[in-house]
Amino acid sequence: MRSTILHLPTFVLACLLAASASAQKPAPPSPQDSQAPAASQLAQKPGAQLISLDQAIQMALEHNHSLLAARSTIQQSQAGEITANLRPDPVLLGDVQYLPVFQPGTFSSDYMNNSAEFDMGVSYLFERGGKRQSRVRAARDLTAVTKSQVADNERTLAFNVATDFINVELAESTLEFANQDLKSFQDTVNITEARYKAGDIGLDDFLKMKLQFLQFQTDVAQARLGRLQGLSDLRQLLGFEQVSADYDVAGSFDYLPLKGNLDDMQLAALKSRPDLEAAQQGVAAANSAFNLQKAIGKRDVTGQLNYTHVADLNQIALYASIPLPIFDRNQGEIKRASFAISQAQEQRLYLNGQVLTDVRDAYEGWKANDEVVGLYRSGYLDEAQQSRDIADYAYKHGAASLLDFLDAERSYRSTQLGYRQSLASYLKALEQLREAVGTRSLP
């Protein structure tokens, strides 16, 4: 025989249950403690290598193969500086004339000494207009641009590592929640099965409960897959060979408040963004290339010293030559280089605006996500938990229908998963803001 409590209205029973629970339980913890998903302890096996976010970024900066390949361009550019600083090599000249090839009978030492002619000399190209200095300056400016571009690659890599790290944290938090919810729902399924066998509920309600249990099992499988894929993607960024296969992330996956205003962040971005620095250095490099082309327009002098032996006479001859710049004064390349300066200046102005736009967009994205997370933390998480607990207790004691319980369960599950997704979006927006400003230490 059912208890008389079954005849009470469901909402009255819920109120009594809530009041009883609040009277027996201690005061709830602060929102900071109760609303944040707990740090995951889901390492693949005991003793797995744990990596924090800062360690992950540092490992990527040291071992990521794409970044190491990009850094080699700095060394290539520095090798170009060596080439630019080289002087022209001297040219060694020599010849023998009037050899009696077709009159071999006249070939003798006297003939070679009195009739043949021997010449030997050396020539050297004297560069004018400071060509070598201009080449070195242009090469060094190009190296500076390359270094800033590689630093920008590091900025992007740090953001990608942080994003993948957060994805793993989200997957592990979701997996932890799914396992807990599955275990809790299993208890309810067992009670439902017992009630069905006792004839308290019909087969239809029991099958609905079993089908809902399938959804929880699916959640666990999907969360486990997401975690494994996230760890695999992150390992590729960190340097595949440097990370053990059973590693795991060590993070709290918690809300991180941020103080700071848009103006300060935009000012910091203008000072720290390496791509903007590369654009500014690109203007200097374009000016260096222009000066080099003007230097190339200066004609070089070729000097030559010759020693001649002919008819028993030894002579020294000096020669000098210089092209006459009548038609070709390198005017085409000089003009092109001047347009390249304008191009670099326009690119710098565009990138200056792009940096400010990136920071504003990232800042507004962070604010929007912060607002959404704040809504969840303002009480909706606790309310969803309380609603689910009341419905679960009422259903187990026969004071609530299956549909009411499943509806409360779905709302609780949706709220918890939605909060985790929103928290991950907030943390990613925070990383996006760090990338836009160009530093991980936001003002």
Q: How many domains does the chain have?
A: 1
- At 186, which CATH number? 1.20.1600.10
Q: What is the pLDDT of residues 13-29, one digit of tens each?
A: 444 444 444 433 433 33
Residue 305 falls inside a structural domain: yes
Task: Please give the pLDDT value at position 36.
Answer: 47
DSSP letters, 292-324, are HHHHHTSPPEEEEEEEEEETTEEEEEEEEE---
Task: Please give the pLDDT value at position 40.
Answer: 53
Task: Please give the pLDDT value at position 389.
Answer: 83
Residue 381 falls inside a structural domain: yes
Q: Taking phi first (over 0 means left), then psi (-120 to 50 degrees means alpha), and beta for anything else, what does residue 301 get?
A: beta
428 C-beta neighbours (distance < 10 Å), count = 19
437 C-beta neighbours (distance < 10 Å), count = 28
Task: Return d(Cα 124, Cα 136) in angstroms, integer.
Answer: 21
Could you give the C-alpha distances from 68 to 100, 372, 420, in angstroms and in order? 65, 39, 35
Q: What is the pLDDT of residues 182-225, one digit of tens each?
A: 887 787 778 777 777 877 777 877 787 777 778 888 888 998 99
Residue 84 falls inside a structural domain: yes
Residue 27 falls inside a structural domain: no
Residue 137 falls inside a structural domain: yes
Task: Please give the pLDDT value at position 41.
Answer: 54
| Per-residue DSSP letter, 51 | E
Residues of the chain with pLDDT under 50: 1-34, 36, 38-39, 43
Task: Return d(Cα 236, Cα 251) in angstroms, integer.
Answer: 19
DSSP letters, 73-91, are HHHHHHHHHHHHTPPPPPE
Task: Please give the pLDDT value at position 130.
Answer: 95
Residue 408 falls inside a structural domain: yes
Residue 139 falls inside a structural domain: yes
> What three-state secondary structure class fits 13?
helix
* Residue type, position 89, single letter: D
Domain that holds residue 90: 49-437
Question: SS3 helix, strand, coil % of the chain, rounded to 5?
Answer: 70, 10, 20
Task: Return d(Cα 219, Cα 213) in angstroms, integer.
Answer: 10
Task: Please give the pLDDT value at position 194.
Answer: 79
Task: Return d(Cα 271, Cα 265) in angstroms, integer.
Answer: 10
Residue 36 falls inside a structural domain: no
